[in-house]
Structure 1
Amino acid sequence: MLLKARTAQATTQVPPSIASTLPLINDEAIGAIMDDKTKTIILAVIERAPQWLRNDLATKDPAARARAEEALAAMLVDAIGGRQAAAD
């Protein structure tokens, strides 16, 4: 079963392995933290995440999960940083 993550532009299917690792934040809180472009970028990065990353995020092995979290964080920083560089 895939969960739906909503943005202002689209609804994206988020696999349970990824959704289970995300904190529960309501739409108002997210809106206060980031704009629609940033949310769209983050959802796109998660959507394109390779299967090994998804598997490692869902694993009980702390080292593998930490490695996956760091890889996902790097992917997000790169994607958001690219947006900010393009805006400058």
Structure 2
Amino acid sequence: MAAHTTDPLHTEAKSPLAKGPTAPEWRKSSHSENGGACVEAATNLAPSTGTVPIRDSKRPATTAVLTLPAPAFAAFVAAVKAGKSLA
């Protein structure tokens, strides 16, 4: 599945544990190519669940998932794109 240019997350990797029609489609941040701390988000679940799960991309099968409300995730992405401090 090709990423959309307006999507803040550009690469996609399906979870090996995903099953069913509402399985998360994990997408890695466009800034994850730096070899540092990387995360993946499953934004495809926002319309059906109202949430966006997030996980560590280096340990996808063993990492706990943090789930954010979709509006909070959108605000976070907008703030990062705008260069705002999140501290």
- Give the TM-score normalised by structure 1: 0.29
Determine which structure has the larger helix proportion and give its number: 1
Q: Does 1 or 2 have the higher relative contact order (CA < 8 Å, sep 6+)?
A: 1
- When Rg is computed on C-alpha atoms for both structures, the one with the higher figure is 1
Determine which structure has the larger strand proportion and give its number: 2
- Give the TM-score normalised by structure 2: 0.29
